[in-house]
Amino acid sequence: MTGAHRLAAGCAAALAFATTVAACSDISAPLRNEVYEWRLFVPAASGDGADTLSFHWDRSFLPVRVWVENTAGLPGHMDRAITTWESVYLYREFTAEIVSDSSDADVIVRGTDAPAPQTSRTRLRSAMAPQCRGATDLDVTPDNRDLLLPIRVFVAPSAVPGTPGLEDCLALTSIHELGHALGIFQHSPNPTDIMFADPSVLLPSPLDRGTAEVLYHVAPTLEAVRR
């Protein structure tokens, strides 16, 4: 992303979500179409209306510690997903590393289906391709203030090893689910984005990248809490 695009993307967030737009007054191009809605809308803690949840990793958590179950080639796919998302950021706003101890991890990736009954309050289901499927569980406290760690990611093969399309499915689903774990809590409405609910593109689009970039420059409503 060029400097001009980065500035435009940052201003898009400011225009959409802040009351002051003075800092963006020198940008004349239309800006809002450079991001999609990434925030999650949930029933309000007060019981009336909805709360808007926005999250990104604070610098103090970086690099985010990711533990990956050693099955179906997931460690390799997730390592590439980390590199892919890190490349979005010019100032290393998001970084992650794979760790060997799951008890020490802030994101846990398993090669199985998300468990039922659901134990977390919010489950983002995605990737309903024939070859594999994914989900990300976010455990948000009832007051909608804290995101209890770890974030739990599930990337499960639906086909036997060697099935055409399986590796691509696992690769793009790993990127998609890590996109949720870094703070994109909504699905894109566009099939050309990797954060579309049923993604088919192999890499983040310019819109995915712009959204991921902007959300690290908007104050989060959720605070990550280790337990």
Least separation in angstroms between residue 177's CB and Zn ion is 7
* CB-CB neighbours of 68 under 10 Å: 26
The reply on whether position 174 binds Zn ion by CB under 5 A is no
For residue 47, give the amino acid letter: G
CA distance 88 to 149: 24
* 126 vs 211 by CB, closer to Zn ion: 126
* 5 vs 125 by CB, closer to Zn ion: 125
Q: Within 143-162, which residues bind Zn ion (CB under 5 A)?
A: none
* 31 vs 81 by CB, closer to Zn ion: 81
DSSP 8-class letter at 113: P
Give the Å distances, CA to CA, from 220 to 76, 144, 215.
30, 12, 8
Give the Å distances, CA to CA, from 91 to 1, 153, 157.
12, 26, 34
Near Zn ion by CB under 5 A: residue from 14, 57, 82, 126: 126
Least separation in angstroms between residue 24's CB and Zn ion is 30
Considering only the stretches 26-34, 79-87, 126-134, 153-161, report the one whose residues sit in contact with Zn ion under the rule CB under 5 A: 126-134
Least separation in angstroms between residue 180's CB and Zn ion is 6
Considering only the stretches 82-90, 95-103, 124-132, 142-150, report the one whose residues sit in contact with Zn ion under the rule CB under 5 A: 124-132
The reply on whether position 124 binds Zn ion by CB under 5 A is yes
* 123 vs 145 by CB, closer to Zn ion: 123
Task: Report the residue number whose CB is nearest to Zn ion.
Answer: 126
* CB-CB neighbours of 170 under 10 Å: 26
* 194 vs 224 by CB, closer to Zn ion: 194
Strands 107-110 and 50-53: unpaired
* 31 vs 153 by CB, closer to Zn ion: 153
H helices within the chain, ranges in order? 3-17, 74-86, 166-182, 206-215
Of 127, 125, 132, nearest to 158 (Cα)? 132
* Binding-residue total with Zn ion (CB under 5 A): 2
> Which spans of this chain sit near Zn ion (rule: CB under 5 A)?
124, 126
